[in-house]
Structure 1
Amino acid sequence: MSFKIAIIGAGSVGFTKKLFTDILCVPEFRDVEFALTDLSERNLQKIKSILDRVVEFNRLPTRVTATTDRRAALEGARYVISCVRVGGLEAYADDIRIPLKYGIDQCVGDTICAGGILYGQRNIPVILDFCKDILEVAEPGAKFLNYANPMAMNTWAAIEYGKVDTVGLCHGVQHGADQIAEVLGAKSRTELDYICSGINHQTWFIDLRLNGRKIGKDELVAAFEAHPVYSQQEKLRIDVLKRFGVYSTESNGHLSEYLPWYRKRPDEITRWIDMSDWIHGETGGYLRYSTETRNWFETEFPQFLESAARPIDPAKRSNEHASHILEALETNRVYRGHFNVKNNGIIANLPQDAIVESPGFVDRFGINMVAGITLPEGCAATCISSINVQRMSVHAAISGDIDLLKLAVLHDPLVGAVSTPEEVWQMVDEMVVAQARWLPQYADAVPAAKERLSKSRVKTREWAGAARRDVRSIEELRAEKTALKQAV
């Protein structure tokens, strides 16, 4: 088979390489072309050299091209994969730093909450540019696979306003299923069957079966509480499991910032999180991790290049959805996964215009979703709170309506639990001014926002958060990796 796959934001070295090698695990895909595009020529050339090394070592006919000209990369593409972060780490740092001044402590800040909403404002205009290019120069009927956060907002905008055949992809469900299989003592994850449904990062395992035997709440709670690691790392998720009756897919740190109950009091935050790794609730944890990863790649690039000279092993193909979707569409080998699409009857008790994440099957006829699922009422209520924020955020990003943007942030569950309306209005003004270069739709609103900030009387504080860690140096990272190798 010969077709073209374009990857936008391909400078993300680790993720791009994973997508690339996963796809090349499919024997029929040896002759495809990968067109990489990114704003950074330097990053593009680095990742291209790594992928070229993979191709050369494995003696494949695969073609890899790289260009900063996005339309050239998209021209004739059958599949377009996006993993962009508009504004990079510079804007992301403001997504964490500015809300902290108003008492809002986020672990990740890229889905909803103050940081995720502003991230969506930066991404959506760019997503619509991608869609315009796809419609104009890609292969007719090209499919857009969005991996970029905020997942629901980006996918909502691409479907509703970009008018492109779009699916949003995430790995939260797979990771949650792996945990459940482990605590229940499964020999492999294939022994576990499940229905998981909701919205991105708030999906719920509403039916669990181990070797055909239904698993109830009490058994699952007992299994997690008995696990020596997860009982400490996932305290918040276990508490939600006890109260809601079902397990949430998302990590302890992520889940904590989507709900109004666990991060609203600084002295309570440390009770629910675990500092053994950033993903369990550390303040700005993903920002620290991303910064360290970038610094490590910049310094240790020769290692990345050397490690690319290895055989592609289909046994090590990851559970990221993209390669499996492409395989099913092109070869008709049926694939079951969990996909982000417009609701339209998939989940009966969520709004029909929402982007939901739910089970579906892929074959040559496309992505076919299972319809008519009903969530437990508590899960649906939590999802609806976030959906309302997502809807307002998308509409604000499209219209450039700063007042609607402020209402979206005000209605965010965690923001509303922490901040007053006056604080939210000032915080949004401050974030829009700080990120103006990435927010063209708010250009007319920026002068008035600056004027309001110059006269504001709302008090703020310089606060690192309840559980912040410093970015580690290359020397510290190298010492940690050496220690881990020696321990193994």
Structure 2
Amino acid sequence: MTRIAFIGAGSITFTQTLVRDLLSFPALQGATLALMDIDDDRLAESEAMARRLVEANDLPATVEATTDRREALADADYVICAIHVGGEEPFRNEIEIPEEYGVYQAVGDTLGPGGVFRALRTIPTMVDLARDMEELCPDAPLLQHTNPMAMVCWAVAAETEIDVYGICHSVQGTAHDLASYVGVPSDEIEYWVAGINHMAWFLELEHDGRDLYPDLEAVLAKRGEAYADDVVRFETMDHFGSFITESSQHLSEYLPYFRQSEEEIDDLIDRSSYRADPEEFEYSPVCWLPTGEYLEQWSSIDPGEAFDPEAMDTQLDRSDEYAARIVHSLETGAVRRMNLNVPNTAGSRAGALISNLPADALVEVPSLVDGTGVHPCSAGDLPAQLAALNRTNVNVQALGVQAATEGDEAALRRAIKLDPLTSAVCTLEEADAMVDDLLAANGEYLPALS
């Protein structure tokens, strides 16, 4: 019987999506779902949700719930992880302190001061998790959803023997967006995407063998509603030649061009036809809100207030998330291709998967998954300008990982100084002062630097 451990199962909305996805496959309906979280209340809600899906569909699956990570991991065949380390206080500090220095992050969970400091407080826990896996389930792959994706997976791969695959939905989400922009059914487009997480490039985009880039360029030239809904990505395509994954909102904080002042951010919002509803929590809309409002939305969410397992939809509709598809392919041999985040030399006999990015980088590349394993595909050289933009983020990631795994404060300070957004608005002295303030505020959450 397949055993699937969910670490961070108290993230009830995400866990519900993944449990529903897994149970939608008949071959996985007899699995054991071992839910683990350190929050008893949230764990109880996720357990009730999973049991409701199993019982409503009369399935033979077994649901377990525990606050003991090692208990959940014991003899697991697969480990799915979606954790948040530290709660609201450090997250708030990582947004509000940089604002005092003019660094206005959209979300602050991937790059920038927020992403680097999140890596510092997350990586030690993730490495500890992987060490437990080495002992309790050494052959299980770690299907990893926690941000900052690249830095977390990079550290786990470097520090342990566990096979870690970073899973994101930005590629499939962007594919849906692009299909809508050019008026093509989303299930009919074909694409080849490579780069790094949240900054991967649609190197090929076709429908029935026809290149769709001329259609995208026409959308750009028209400067209409589609352009207004996705200003940053269309502008990036205009200047650098390829469309990029992740939303305009999120992408704006990985580049030095779009968030240099509150006025510039307001101008982006004014140029967009999109208007976020502050009463409704959706990931992309809140990224458009002025800096700080995303934080307020995030911290105000308490899924327990509204969750009622008896009222939930029990249909086994499948989402676009990759995790269940990976498990299904490995279990049944069904062949699938999906973009996964892996070390740049993973499974490669010919050197780096993306040859003009650093060999030790964490890259996002097409990967074939079947009954024999996960097989990342070589993407060769990226166009020079795309690789250059990727390297601006990889430079920060490399130093962030060094800071987290070696307790190296000098590496931390260099990571922040090399961050594209920080370096666009801060002097070197201001970057150091910002790091000082963040260390003072969040020191208790940073075991590597304590």
Shift of 1:172: 0.4
2:305 aligns to what? 299
Is 1:251 aligned with 2:247?
yes
Distance in 2, matches of 1:33 and 1:428, equals 44
Where does the alignment leave 5 or more consecutive residues of structure 2 unmatched?
277-284, 346-351
2:286 to 278, 286, 299: 278
Letter in structure 2 aligned against 1:269: I
1:192 to 167, 189, 194: 189
Letter in structure 2 aligned against 1:231: Y
2:312 to 286, 308, 312: 308
Is 1:409 aligned with 2:416?
yes
Distance in 2, matches of 1:224 and 1:211, equals 22
Shift of 1:404: 1.5
SS of equivalent residue, structure 2 residue 153:
helix
1:8 aligns to what? 7
1:223 aligns to what? 219
- Alpha-carbon distance change, 256 to 309 in structure 1, aligned in 2, over 3 angstroms: closer
- Check the 8 A contact 1:171/1:320 in 2, yes or no: yes
1:260 to 253, 256, 260: 256
Shift of 1:423: 1.4
Letter in structure 1 aligned against 2:115: G
- Alpha-carbon distance change, 252 to 285 in structure 1, aligned in 2, over 3 angstroms: farther
Distance in 1, matches of 2:114 and 2:18, equals 27
Letter in structure 1 aligned against 2:143: L
1:153 to 140, 151, 154: 151
1:360 aligns to what? 367
Percentage of matched positions with identical amino acids: 38
Distance in 2, matches of 1:285 and 1:213, equals 42
Shift of 1:233: 2.2
1:322 aligns to what? 323
- Check the 8 A contact 1:36/1:66 in 2, yes or no: yes
Is 1:427 aligned with 2:437?
no
Shift of 1:108: 0.7
Count of aligned pairs: 432
- Alpha-carbon distance change, 366 to 122 in structure 1, aligned in 2, over 3 angstroms: same
Letter in structure 2 aligned against 1:282: P
- Check the 8 A contact 2:265/2:290 in 1, yes or no: no
- Check the 8 A contact 2:54/2:60 in 1, yes or no: yes
SS of equivalent residue, structure 1 residue 258:
coil
Letter in structure 2 aligned against 1:414: L
- Check the 8 A contact 2:365/2:378 in 1, yes or no: no
- Check the 8 A contact 1:359/1:370 in 2, yes or no: yes
RMSD: 1.5
- Alpha-carbon distance change, 166 to 127 in structure 1, aligned in 2, over 3 angstroms: same
Is 1:378 aligned with 2:385?
yes
Letter in structure 2 aligned against 1:193: E
**Once the two structures are superposed, what CA deviation does each residue of 1:84-143 show, in whole Å capped at 9, x if it has no partner?**
0111222211111111111100111000101000000001000110011001112x4111
Distance in 1, matches of 2:44 and 2:311, equals 17
Letter in structure 2 aligned against 1:340: N
Letter in structure 2 aligned against 1:156: W
Distance in 2, matches of 1:228 and 1:372, equals 33
**Once the two structures are superposed, what CA deviation does each residue of 1:160-193 show, in whole Å capped at 9, x if it has no partner?**
112211100000001110011111111x212100
- Check the 8 A contact 1:256/1:281 in 2, yes or no: no
Letter in structure 1 aligned against 2:292: G
Shift of 1:41: 1.0
2:349 aligns to what? none
Distance in 1, matches of 2:416 and 2:102, equals 14
Shift of 1:412: 0.5
Shift of 1:8: 0.8
1:72 aligns to what? 71
